[in-house]
Structure 1
Amino acid sequence: MLSIGEFSNICKVSTKTLRYYAEIGLILPDEINPENGYRYYSIEQLETMLFINRLKSYNFSLEQIKTILESEESQDEKLYLALNRKKKEIEKQVQEFEKTLDQLNIDISNLKQGKSIMSYLESIEVQLVEVPMMYLLSIRKMVHEYDFAEEYGNCFSKLFRKIADDKLTLLAPPMVLFHSAEFSPFGLETEFAIPVKECVTGTRDFYPGLCLKTVLYGSYSDLPSVYTKQSEWAEKEGYESSNALYEVYVTDPSQVSKESEFITEIYYPVKKKAKLERQ
């Protein structure tokens, strides 16, 4: 048997932490002296403590580790599934860190050259285009930001099924229109739409008219930069918003392996600002 101090020293875990682990039922002392309350751990528990520390290093919560330890199923089977889920989480985090690191290097390089870190906005092109009327088959609903990816898949699946069932003619890639006047954490009024050739029950007319158009190659996280550039262009040239901003997804995000392969067209419907008459 090992005293709590010896066990602590071998595993490099403080006695305070061991007492807390016992409190939450993660790993209990093998024996407690009823006279003085001294805690003792068995040699076999050293491996349990190493196992706990290994899972902690993978950023498993103590509750998750406890669930794995207490599992009535085959522990190896449950552990295999849990480790695979964690692997995917970490791979995603690594991708995000790599992307952030790349951006940091670009900003550092720009500053070395005497450029502003916001100079990348200069490379965003804005075109003034006339977009003809189109018939939209669409689903309009309130969508929370964290539900967007799921709703994107669900809504467009329904729309494509209807196109196939009704033998409609697809005219352009899927698009999303944002009808909310402002961003809200409680949801945005969003319209998932597909332009079709036929005017039938369930379609609506959409007149984009004059629009600012920008093509974005890469991650959707760069969309706010495009919106900023378009807003600045509109203000400078004397235009204002005239309809719902919309995005056209030239590439299906579910069909490409890298964010760098995304191609998105952003349209900002505008009209000339009315000139104020001099008094």
Structure 2
Amino acid sequence: MRTPLNDTKLYTVGEVAKLCNISKKTLRFYDQLGLISPDYVSPENNYRYYSEKTLSSISIVKYYKQMGFKLSEMQGLIGKPSYFYHESNFVAKINELTAEQKKIQNELIQLHDWQRLLQEARMISTQYSDTISVKCLQEQTYCSLDQAFSYDYRESILNIPWTNYLQSKKQEITGPVVLKFNSYLDKYHGVSEQATIIQKPVSCEHPIPNALTFGGFFVSAYHLGPMETLNEEYPKVEQWAADNGYTCGPECYERYVIDYWSTTNPDQFITEILIPITKKCATK
């Protein structure tokens, strides 16, 4: 169509939709947003028409969408005479996407760690439930918080003060909850009144609150079933260490592989008991 006003070739909404591979509904939405408006509206039938120059702007919109811009963020971008305006918007979008990338990466770390816990639980429950062994854990820095302990495992694991504390420090964690007890004998005999909850930080972007180094050589044993029966494992571990020439303790760690975060069935709980060990010196 050529208008009598400027003799410019114009295209109907249907023609634009076909040429630019977009729907008529999308084209109308662009108009409502003030993003791409028709060059001419017929006073007789209210039909909308677009020039070739306006059609080319649709390619710009598509490319902006490809770069992550929302339609609402494109208002005012098309047709700006200065490229400095575009540069400032690109910098803002780069910063936004970089922050989103970090967030997604942290979420992936947490999901992978949880999946690995489930895989560990499947392996232990089917193959190695009665195994006691020496384990070497690479030293890593964990977040920690000292708390009262009353043998209420649910309260210690689904730990509201802990999550609030981490939130106040802007710290995200991953992996299982681990409780450290200063005396494995006190824990075994049911008289522990204090524990330190520790978990691995997702990243070191923020200072790690109450940083605690966890790692080294341990005697390891898995307990399957309710946590109230955990103490049954301690004499077995102690005897195994003595039989193999190791000295235990003094502290111990309980690493909750499958717990209240994963199931409501206590019979499916899996807890790893970790007690630091040193080799006894041979006597002459």
Q: TM-score, normalised by structure 2?
A: 0.46
| Structure (1 or 2) with the larger CA radius of gyration | 2
Q: TM-score, normalised by structure 1?
A: 0.47
